[in-house]
Amino acid sequence: MDVQKITEDIMINAINRYSKEYNVDSIKTQLMIKALDEECNPSYQLLINNRFERDLTFNQILNVKLDFLGREIIASPFIASALRRLRREHPCNYKELNILIYKKQEENKNPSLYFFEGTKAVKPIGMDYIFNDILN
């Protein structure tokens, strides 16, 4: 099971689905991963045109009521680990950790990710950064 590819597909599918729901191009729909606490457990938000729309659960991103496949249980530790690594590399409060997930072009099949410290754009990262623990 390629956890990274599955997660990429989940994020792109969610962006496309929320774009249709909000009747906007998919390049105007973003997901945000934030650190929920000191341990950097992830929380999720929906953004439309880079503006907060609403908080999301992982199941809402998956578009399921129950995650029988345990995808959140598999992906969350890697996401939390990446948030902690970003915090070590760029010392900041956990409340300042933000990873924006977006599509660069309408036809993109892979998500792009960008790390923000608060509202300050810091650097692009990839899904390989999130799943670094699997790859190494």
- DSSP secondary structure string, the chain? --HHHHHHHHHHHHHHHHHHHHTS-GGGEEEEEEE-STT--EEEEEEETTEEEEEE-HHHHHT-SS-TT-HHHHHHHHHHHHHHHHHHHS---GGGEEEEEE-SSTT-SS-EEEEEETTEEEEEE-HHHHTHHHH-
Is the pLDDT reported for residue 136 higher than 50? no
- The reported pTM is 0.88
pLDDT tens for 3-58 read 778 888 889 999 999 999 999 999 999 999 999 999 999 999 999 999 999 999 98
Give the pLDDT band (50/70/90) at residue 83: very high
**For the chain, what percent of residues have pLDDT higher than 90?**
60
